[in-house]
Amino acid sequence: MLIHRAVQITGDEYFGLHQGEAMIGFSNILGHILVNCETLGEVFEKFLKYHRILDEGMNITAALEGDFLVLEYVFYSEALSSDRQLSNYFISCCHTYTKQLTGKRTDLIEVRFKHGTPADISEYERIFNCKLTFASHMNAIVCDKEILKTPIREPNKKLLSIFEKYAEEVLSKQNDKASYTQRVGSLIAKMLGDKIPPINMIADKLAISTRSLQIKLQEEGTTYSEILDQIRKETAIYYLKNKDISIAEISYLLGFSEPSVFNRTFKKWTNLPPRKFRQSQIDIE
C-alpha cells in the first residue's frame, strides 16, 4: 500500500495522522458541494449521500448515542479497517476538514480506533485533544450533536444546487456492468477538479494496469484522452448554462491552467467561445 511505502521513506510512524492534519480539502465535485453547505449538519448529510464520488472503498455512517454524534468509518475490507495508517489518515482528515469549513476547531468527545495502542500516543493526544480508545470495535469520531448547528464560513445555496444536480448525474451513471468507456468517463467526472486525473490513477481505481486499460478502450473504439475531452466538454456546457458560476471558475473546475486555455479549447469543441455560448443559451431561454 502506498501509504506504508511513504512511512518507510519518511520514517514517520505517524504519517497517516500528519497527512490528515495537512489535508486541504477536496478539489472535486464533492468538495464543491461541501463548501457551499450552510451547517456542519448539512455537510455530514451531503457527505453521507455523495461520499462514493470520493472513494468507493469505504462507507461512513452517522448515529446518535444519547447527546453524542458518532461518525464511523466502515471499510469494505477488514484488513483496511484494521490498518493503522489508513484509519488514522481518514479520521485526522475529518477533524482537519471540519475546522477548514467552519473556521473553528471542533471539540471532540472521543476518537476510536480498531488498531491496537501505539507505544507513544502523544501525537494522537496533540491532534485530537480528547479521550482515545484503541482496539475498539470501530473507527469513529464522537462529538456533541450540537456541532451539527455550526455554520459553514461561506455557504452558497445557488452553487450547492448546481453542484448537487451534477453529482446526481454522475452517481446515476455508475454501473458495475458498464463498458470501460462508461466507467472511465464516470470516474473522470467524479475526480475532475483543479487537476486532471491521469490514466494510471483511473486504472488503479478500476484495479487494472494502465496498459490493459488502454487496450480495453482501444477495443471499444476510443482513447483516454478522447473520453477526457468529452467529459470536460459536457461538464463545461452544463456549468455554462448556470449564470451563477463564472467562466474563470469553470476553467478551474475543469482543470485548465488558466481561463484563456479554456476559452481556446471550448471554441475548438463548439466553434463558440464560452461567453458567446452562454449568451446563446440565455437567448434561447
Residue 269's Cβ-side half-sphere holds a number of Cα atoms within 13 Å equal to 20
Sign of CA dihedral 131, 134, 138, 141: positive
The pLDDT assigned to 119 comes to 94
The pLDDT assigned to 285 comes to 52
The pLDDT assigned to 148 comes to 94
Record the cell numbers describing residue 78, joined without a space.
Answer: 477488514
- All residue ranges of the chain with pLDDT < 70 are 1, 54-57, 76-77, 173-177, 282-285
The Cα–Cα gap between 87 and 112 comes to 10
The Cα–Cα gap between 177 and 221 comes to 18
**CATH says 173-284 is which class?**
mainly alpha
The pLDDT assigned to 282 comes to 64
> pLDDT tens across 261-273, in order?
999 999 999 999 9
Sign of CA dihedral 7, 12, 15, 19: negative
Q: What is the largest CA-CA distance in the chain?
A: 67
The pLDDT assigned to 135 comes to 96
pLDDT above 70 coverage of the chain, percent: 94
Q: Looking at the chain, which residues constitute the CATH 1.10.10.60 domain(s)?
A: 173-284
